[in-house]
Structure 1
C-alpha cells in the first residue's frame, strides 16, 4: 500500500473517530465519546511508532517521538479528546505535507513525463517509428505537429515553429529556419518538419535535463539536515519541559499539554517543502538544479567565479568596425571579404559572413578558392584576386597603421583585405560583451554575492576590459583548466563558491566548486554533466534568477522551521503553567503546523524584484527597436569614418563623407530616436517605475538631436560648389566624434537596460 493511501486512511480514521465522539458527546453519551476518541488516538499510535522506528534505523531521533509520547500520555491520563485531536493533527499534517510536496514537484515531474521515448525515422519515402535509443547521428527524423523534438539536430526541410518553454522558461514560440540548430525537448507547434540528428539520445540536451531532474530532491539538502539538528535539541528540551512541569505542578495533564503543543510532526517537514518548491520555481525559469543540496548551497554562496567566453561574452566574434583605404567604401570591403569567406569554416570568416548577411549585402560567387591555415582565405571575385586574413608586409600605409592602433585599443583581431595584392581594407572583430551581463552582475550583487571574479584562458587585455566594464572584483587571465580548478578550490576555502562556465575546459572547475553552473544551451555535455545547475537557455541572467530563487527558498525554509518552533515553545510555556489544556493545545498546534507549511509553499510563487514585467505589445516594440539598432551600426561607422577623413583637411572627399552622414542621420537615425522617444519610452515607463526611469536616456536623445543639427548647420554654410572652410574643421570633427561617442554609449545603455527586458532578445553591441 502506498504512503499516500496510508495517509488518506489515517486521515479518514482519525477524522471519523473525532466526529463520532463529538456526536456522542452532544448526545451526552460521554462513555461512547471517550471510546471513539480513544480509538482515534490508538489508530495514530501505530503509524507514529513506525515513523519513529524508521527514523531510529536511519540514525535520527526526530520529533515524531514527541507525537508518540503525547499520544501515549493522552491515553494514560484519560485526555481522549486531546489524543484524538493530536491524531487528527498528525494525519492532516502528513497529508498536507505530502500534497504540498507533490504540488511543488509538479514542474519537475512534467519534465520527466515529457521526455520522448520514440522517434520517427525517414528512410527514403518510408517513415518508421523506432526506439529513441536506436537513433544515430546523421539519421533523418520527422517531427510532427505537437511532438517533442527527440534529439538535438538541425532543421532539414521547411522552417519550424517551436515551443521551447520547457528548455528556456519563455512562453513565446520561436521560428527556426532550414539549417538552424534545434534542441531536444522543444515542442513542434507548427507543421511537420524534417530533422537531421546531430546527437544520440544520451548526448542530447533534454536527456541531460531529465537526468538532473531525476536526481532533483533525491538528496537531503543541508537546510533539511539543519532541521534535523533543530530536532536534536528540541526533542530533549520538550521531554525535559514536560518532566519538570509534572515534577513541580504534580499534574500529569499539564505535562501532557506540554507534549501536545510540542508535536510539530509536519512542522520540520516545511523545510523540504520550501526546498522542493524552490527547485520547481527554478525549473519554470529555465534553470534545472540537480538536488536540494545544490539549491541550498547556492542560497548560501557568497563568491561567484565566471568564465569569460560564452558566459560574460557572446562566445562568437563579431565585426565591430570596418576600415577602408582612401577611394574605397566600407560596404565594398565587407562585400568582398564575405564573398571569399562564405565557404570558410574559420570562426572569424563566419563572423564576417554573418555581418554581411545581417546588413543585406548580396554576396558574389568566388572562384578558385583556397585557404591557408593561419593565413586566411583567397579566391577570385569578379575577376579580381581577393585575400582575407593575415597581412605580413611591414610597410603599411597610414590608414592601415591607424586601423592597427584602433584594433590594439579595442583588443580586436584584424582581418586584412587585399585586391590583386593591394591592401584596401581591414575588418576589426571582437567577442562582444553579452547585453544581459551587466544586469546579471548587478542582480547577483543584490542577491548577496560579495565577491565576483572572472577566470579565463584569454589574453590579459580583453579580459581586463570586460572585468572593468562589469565592475568585477578581480580577473585571472591565461588560465588552463587546472589553473581554474585550483582557483576555485582556493576561493572555496573562505566562502561557499559558485563557478559558471560553458565549455569542456570549464568542467574541472565546475566539479571543484561548491556549486557548478553550466550554460547548457550551448555548453558541452562534459560541462553540463559535472554541473549542479544547468541554465537551459542561452541567457546568463538566468543565473541571477536561480540565485534569487535559492536565497528566497532557503530563507523561507529556515524561517518556517525556526518560526514554528518558537511558536511551539511559547505554547509550551503557557501549557506548563496550566493555562492551556491538552485539547485546546492540540488545536493550537494544528493551526501552527498548517500555517508553517503554507508559509513554506510561498517559495513556489514568482519572485523577480529586479525584472520589470512588460506586456506583449511592449515586447514587440523592444524587438523592433533592437533590430533597428543592428541596422544602424553602419551609420555609427559612417559617423566615425567621416570624422577620420576630416583629419586630412578640407578635401572634397571629406565633405562628401560628411554629407553622406547628414543624409543617414536625417533619413534613418533621427527617425529611429524620435520613435523611441514617442513609442518605446512611454511603454517602458510603467514597468520601470515611472517616466523618470527613462529621463536620462531622453536627455541623450536631445544631445543626439543637437549634434545632428550642428553638423547640418556646418553643411548649410558651405557655398554651393565650395568646400569646408579650415575654421570649420575642428568644430565639425568634434561634433562627429562626440556624436559617435554619445550614440555608441546610448545604444549600449538601451541594449543592456531596456532590450534585455524582452525574452529572446539579443541585440548586437
Structure 2
C-alpha cells in the first residue's frame, strides 16, 4: 500500500514540477520575467517540501543521503535568483524518483506475477458432487478437479490418465509438460490441457507454491550490501560536494558557482543504479526458475569462488533406480521384476517403491498378492499368482531358500542389492543405485567457466561410494562420512579462500547452508529446513539451473558497478567544470538530468540479461558407482 501511495505522489510531484517549468518558460517568452520567477518557485515548492519531509524521516532512521544535496541546490538556487535552475532541479529530482520507482516496478514484474497468480479456491469432489471450496479447507487425500486454465492450488498427484501443465512461471520451461497417472504435480502450475482429477498431497500452507510466495515476499523486502555501501559513500560524496561548492564560492566570491556545483551533484547515480540493476537481476533469475532471496543474496552469489556440493539428492537424484537384474535360474529378468514388484506394492520402503515404479514404467500390469507379511527393513513374503515369493535383503531371502543361492555375498559399491526367491528357489538379485543428475559433468564445467575456482563434494556416505560417484568428475576434493557439524566445518574452512556457496537438499544440510556465504536449496519441495536456511532456492529439481542464476547475478552486479562508476565519474567532472565557471547552474542541471536518465536506463539492461545455455545434458543418466549393465 505504501508503495502505491508513494508512486502516486511521485506522479503528482512530476506533474507540478513540469507544469511550473513550462509555465515559467511561457511567461518568460511573453517578456514577464517576474511572473516567470514566481511560477518557477511555485513549481519548486511542493517538490522541496516533499524532499524535506523525506530527509527528516531518513535522519530519524539514522540515514544520511544525497537528498540533502538536492534540497541544498534547490534552496540555494532560489535564494540567489537562479529560479530556472531550481525548477530544472525540481523536475530532475521528482522525475528521477518517478523513473526509479517505475524501473523497480518493471524489474519486480516477474516476481510479482508469482504473487498475483495465487488461486483462492478449488473444485473438490465430495459425495458425488463438485463443490468450490476455499483453499484452507483442502486436506491431503481430497480429490480435486483441475479445470483447463486453472492454477494448481496445492501439491498432489495425477488421478486421471494424464495432465498437460505449463510450469513456466515456476521453472522457466517454455514448453508444457505431460504427466501420467500418479505423477507428482507442483502447485502453481497451469493446466493447459483437458480437465483432470488430482489427489491433494499437502495442505495449501505446506505446498510448493505457498513456499515460493513466502520466499518472494521476503526477497522483495531485502536490500543489498552494495545498496548499503552506497548509503555510506553518499555521506562522503555529500561532504565533498559541500566542500567543493564552498571553496568555489570562497575563492571566487561568486555564490552562483557554488549553486552550479550543487546542481550538478544532484541526485547521485550511486543511489539510483544499484537497486534498479540488482532488482532487475532478481527478476531475471526468477524467470529461469532460480529464486534468490533478495538483493543481498544476489550480490553475494555474484562473488562466489568456491562450491561445496552435497551428494544425495543434489549431485544425484536421491531416488534409487534399477541398474541391473541378474537371474540365477530359469526366470527371465522381466518375470523376476514382475514378481518382486507385485509383492513390493504393499511396502513403503524407498527401495520397494523404486522397484514398483520401474515395473509400471515398463507397462507391466501387477497382480494383487495375498497372504502377505512384511518384516520392516528386511523384506516381504507372500503369494503371487499361486507362487510363494520372497523379496528383500540377501540374508532375509537366503534364510527362506531351500535350493540354490549365490556362492558368496553379492556386493556393489554404491548399490543396493535386492534378492528374490520363488517357490523356495533362489531366483536372482536386482541392483538399484542412486543415479547422477543429467548433465553433471557439463554443470561442473559451466561453474569453472563462471569463475568458481574450487569445487568440493561433501557427503555422509562411505568413502568408496563417494569415490565411485565422483569418478571422472572435476572435483578438487572429496570429503565423505561427514556429520552435519563436519559439513559446517568444511564450509568455514573453505571460506578462507573466498566466498563459498553450499548446495544441498536435506535437513542435515541446513546448518552448512546457513554457514556458507550463499546457501542453495534444491527444489522448492525439498526439506523445509534447508529452504529456510538457504539464500537461493531452485524452483525446479535441476542442478543445472544454478548456472543461469549465477551468470545473471554476476552480470547484474557488473551493470550496477558500471553504472555507478560512469555516473559518479561524469558527475565529478561536471562539478569541477562548474567550480571553474565552465557550467552555469541551468547547464549543470540539464547535464545532471541527462546523466541520471542514462544511468537508470543502463541499469535496466539487467532486465535483458540472456544467460548462455549450459552444456548439453546427457540423454541417459548414468548410475552412481555401478557399471552400466543390461536389465
Report the counterpart of residue 344 of structure 2 in structure 1: 341
Q: What CA distance in whole angstroms lies between the structure 2 residues aligned with 1:571 and 1:225? A: 25
In structure 2, which of residues 170, 175, 195 is the aligned counterpart of residue 192 of structure 1?
Answer: 195
- State the TM-score, normalized to the length of structure 2: 0.91
**1:416 deviation in Å?**
2.5
Counterpart in 1 of 2:547? 544
Task: Select which of 501, 519, 522 maps to 1:516.
Answer: 519
TM-score (norm 1): 0.75
Contact 1:436–1:539 under 8 Å retained in 2? no
Taking the aligned partners of 1:334 and 1:390, their CA distance within structure 2 comes to 15
Distance 2:405 2:605 in 1: 63
Match of 1:254 among 248, 254, 257: 257
- 2:378 maps to 375
Q: Deviations over 1:697-754 (max 9, x none)?
A: xxxxxxxxxxxxxxxxxxxxxxxxxxxxxxxxxxxxxxxxxxxxxxxxxxxxxxxxxx
Task: Provide the residue aligned with 1:303 in structure 2.
Answer: 306
Structure 1 position 588 matched with structure 2 position 591: yes
More helix, by proportion: 1
Distance 2:295 2:405 in 1: 59
Describe the superposition over 1:667-719 as per-residue Cα deviations: whole angstroms up to 9, x where unpaired: xxxxxxxxxxxxxxxxxxxxxxxxxxxxxxxxxxxxxxxxxxxxxxxxxxxxx
Whole-angstrom distance in 2 between the partners of 1:471 and 1:280: 31
Displacement after TM superposition at 1:361 (Å) = 5.0
SS in 1 for 2:204: coil
Summarize the alignment of residues 359-374 of structure 1 with structure 2, pairs less than 5 Å apart: 359-360=362-363, 363=366, 366-374=369-377
- Kindly report which structure 2 residues correspond to 1:57-72, keeping only aligned pairs within 5 A, or say none: 57-72=60-75
Q: Does 1:286 align with 2:289?
A: yes
Partner of 1:532: 535
**Distance in 2 separating the partners of 1:332 and 1:6:** 74
User: For 1:14-47, what per-residue CA distance to the aligned partner results, in whole angstroms no more than 9, with x for missing partners?
Assistant: 1112212222333333333333333333343212
Kept after mapping to 2: 8 A contact 1:488/1:512: yes
Aligned residue among 595, 601, 605 for 2:604: 601
- In the TM superposition, what is the alpha-carbon distance from 1:345 to its structure 2 partner? 2.6
> Would you say the 8 A contact 1:67–1:265 is kept in 2?
no
Structure with more of its chain in strand, by fraction: 2
Residues 559-574 of structure 1 aligned to structure 2 (within 5 Å): 559-574=562-577
Deviations 1:626-679, CA, capped at 9 Å, x for gaps? 58x99xxxxx745xx9xxxxxxxxxxxxxxxxxxxxxxxxxxxxxxxxxxxxxx
Distance of 1:126 and 1:258 partners within structure 2: 75
Number of equivalenced pairs:
620
Structure 2, gaps ≥5 residues long: 623-627
Shift of 1:105: 1.0
Task: Name the residue aligned to 1:105.
Answer: 108
Distance in 1, matches of 2:389 and 2:602, equals 69
Query: Is 2:21 aligned against 1:18?
Result: yes
Task: Identify if the C-alpha distance between structure 1 residues 449 and 399 changes in structure 2 by more than 3 Å, giving closer, same or farther.
Answer: farther
- Which of residues 142, 146, 151 is equivalent to 2:149? 146
Give RMSD over aligned pairs: 2.9
Residues 1:119 and 2:105 are matched in the alignment:
no
1:190/1:358 CA distance change after superposition, 3 Å? closer
Deviation at 1:546, TM superposition (A): 1.6
Give the 5 Å matches for 1:36-47: 36-47=39-50
Larger gyration radius, structure 1 or structure 2? 1
1:383-422 Cα deviation digits (max 9, x unpaired): 5443333334699x999569946x24xx322223334444
Q: How many Å separate the matches in 2 of 1:574 and 1:125?
A: 81
Are 2:571 and 2:592, in contact at CA under 8 Å, matched by a contact in 1? yes
| 1:435 counterpart SS class | coil
Q: Tell me the distance in 1 between the aligned counterparts of 2:10 and 2:572.
A: 27
Query: Structure 1 pair 612/260, CA: closer, same or farther in 2 (3 Å)?
Result: farther
* Separation of aligned partners in 2, 1:343 and 1:564: 68
- State which of 420, 425, 432 in structure 1 corresponds to 2:428: 425
CA 1:134 to 1:353, structure 2 compared with 1: closer, same or farther past 3 Å?
closer
Q: Which residue of 2 aligns with 1:273?
A: 276
Inter-CA distance 12–265: structure 2 relative to 1 (3 Å threshold): farther
1:605 and 1:17 mapped to 2: Cα distance? 36
The question of whether the paired residues in 1 share the 8 Å contact of 2:268 and 2:568 is answered with: no
Match of 2:499 in 1: 496
- Alignment match, 1:237: 240
> 1:415–1:427: 8 Å Cα contact kept in structure 2?
yes
Once residues 204 and 341 of structure 2 are traced to their aligned partners in structure 1, the CA distance between those partners, rounded to angstroms, is: 36
Q: Distance in 2 between matches of 1:332 and 1:356?
A: 10
- CA deviations over 1:449-494 (Å, ceiling 9, x no partner): 2222222221111212333433122232222333333433444455
Q: Does 1:78 align with 2:81?
A: yes
Provide, for residues 157-206 of structure 1, a one-character-per-residue CA deviation record: whole Å limited to 9, x for no partner. Answer: 44222222222121222223332221221122233333222211211111
CA contact (8 A) 1:156 1:196 kept: yes
- Displacement of 1:240 after TM fit? 1.0
- Residue-by-residue CA offset, 1:483-535 (whole Å, 9 max, x unaligned): 33343344445533322221222223323333322123441223223322221
Q: Which moved more, 1:349-358 or 1:578-587?
A: 349-358
Aligned CA distance change for structure 1 residues 380 and 414 (closer, same or farther; 3 Å): same
- Are the equivalent residues in 1 in contact too, given 2:307–2:456 (CA < 8 A)? yes
Q: Secondary structure at the match of 1:488?
A: helix
Change (3 A) 1:612 1:461: closer
Matched residues in 2 for 1:446 and 1:129: separation?
Answer: 51
SS at match of 1:432: strand
Shift of 1:312: 0.6
Does residue 455 (structure 1) correspond to residue 458 (structure 2)? The answer is: yes
Return the structure number with greater relative CO, CA threshold 8 A, min gap 6.
2
2:446 matches 1:443: yes
Q: Which one of the candidate residues 342, 351, 355 is aligned to 2:354?
A: 351
Report the equivalent of 1:30: 33
Instruction: Return the offset for 1:247.
Output: 1.9
**In 2: Cα distance, 1:191 partner to 1:544 partner:** 34
Check conservation: 2:73, 2:263, Cα contact below 8 A. yes
